[in-house]
Chain A
C-alpha cells in the first residue's frame, strides 16, 4: 500500500516539478548584459594597453635620463681628476723652480 502511494506521490511530484518556462525576456536580458560586458572588456583591453604603453614610455624615458645624468656625472668626475692632476703638477713645478732658483743663488 505504502509503495503504491509512494509511487503515486512521486509521480505527482514529478508532474508538479516539471520545468517552468523561463521569463520571455530572459534571453534578451542575458544577451544585453553579455554585450555590455563584451564592450566593457574591450574598453578594459584598450585601457590596459594604454596604461602599459605609458608605463613603458615612463620607464624608457627614466632610463635615458638616468644614463645621461650618469654620463654627465662621470664627465665631471674626469674633469675634476684632470684639474687635480694639473694642480699637483703645477705645485711640483713651482717647488722645482724654487729649488733651482735657490741653487742658482747658492752657486753665484
Chain B
C-alpha cells in the first residue's frame, strides 16, 4: 500500500509548513531566517522527493532536515560573529495574528537562553511531542545524551522561569 503512495509536493508543504517553520523559528529565534530555512528545507525535499516512500517518511525527513539546517544556520551565524538569538518578539515582520501569547513569547525567550543541544531536545519534546527515543533518532544522537539534555534543559528552564515568570505564575 505504501508503495503506491505518490508524494504531492504542494500537499506536503501545506501539511508540514507550520512544523518546519516553528522548528526553525524556535531553534534560531529569527523570523526571517526561519522562513528562509523553511523554504530551503522544502526545496531540498523537492530534490529528494523520489526517495520519499510514505507520508510518515516525509514527516520524519522534514523534521530531521529542519533541525539540521537550523543548526547549520546557527553555526554560520556564530562563525560570522552575529548574536545567536535575535529577540523573538521583534518577529521580523511577523503579523500580529501570527504572534503567540505574551506568556508563550516569554517562555520562548527563556528557551532561547538554553544551550543549543538542550534547546533542540526540548523543542522536539514539547513542540513535537516526541519520546526521547524519537528525539535521539531525529538528532542522530545517543539516547543517554538526549535524556541528559532533556533533564538539564528542563531544570535550567524551570530555574529561569521561577525568576522571570513570577508575575504570570502569581496571576494564574
Contact (Cβ within 8 A) A26 B107? no
Chain A residues with a Cβ closer than 8 Å to the other chain, count: 24
Other-chain residue from A10, A17, A23, A31 in contact with B21 (beta carbon distance below 8 A)? A23
Q: How far is the CA of A19 from the CA of B26 in the complex (A)?
A: 10
Question: Are A21 and B18 touching (Cβ within 8 A)?
Answer: yes
B157 touches A20 (CB 8 A): no
Query: Do the beta carbons of B100 and A20 come within 8 Å of each other?
Result: yes
Q: Is the CB of B51 closer than 8 A to any CB of chain A?
A: no
**How far apart sit A30 and B37, CA to CA, in the bound complex (Å)?**
11
- A27 interface residue (CB < 8 Å to B): yes
Total inter-chain residue pairs, C-beta < 8 Å: 87
In chain A, residues 8-24, which have Cβ atoms closer than 8 Å to a Cβ of chain B? Answer: 9-10, 12-24
**B5 CB-CB contact with A under 8 Å:** no
Compute how far the CA of A85 lies from the CA of B6 in the bound complex, rounded to whole angstroms. Answer: 80
Given A20-B21, A20-B98; A26-B129 close (CB under 8 Å) = no
Q: For chain B residues 86-105, which have a beta carbon within 8 Å of chain A? A: 94-95, 98, 100-101, 103-104
Q: Is A101 an interface position by the 8 A CB rule? A: no
**Cβ B107 vs Cβ A34 within 8 A:** no
Chain A interface mostly: helix
Q: Counting CB contacts under 8 A, is A29 at the interface? A: yes
Q: B122 within 8 Å of A by Cβ?
A: yes
Question: Is A37 an interface residue, CB under 8 A from the partner?
Answer: yes
| In the complex with contacts A9-B158, A20-B25, A29-B107 CB distance below 8 A | no
- Are A23 and B35 in contact, CB atoms less than 8 angstroms apart? yes
A33 on the B face (CB < 8 A): yes
Least CB distance from B135 to A in Å reads 14
Chain B residues 106 to 127 lying within 8 A of chain A, measured CB to CB, are 107-108, 111, 122-123, 126-127
Taking a contact as CB atoms closer than 8 A, the residue among B14, B111, B158 that contacts A17 in the complex is B111
CB-CB < 8 A to B42: which residues of A?
Answer: 30, 34
Residues of B participating in the A interface, judged by any CB pair closer than 8 Å: 9-10, 13-14, 17-22, 25-26, 31, 35, 38-39, 42-43, 46, 94-95, 98, 100-101, 103-104, 107-108, 111, 122-123, 126-127, 129, 154, 157-158, 161
Name 7 interchain pairs, CB-CB below 8 A, sorted by A: A13-B126, A16-B107, A19-B22, A20-B22, A20-B98, A23-B35, A27-B17
A residues with a Cβ closer than 8 A to B are: 6, 9-10, 12-24, 26-27, 29-31, 33-34, 37
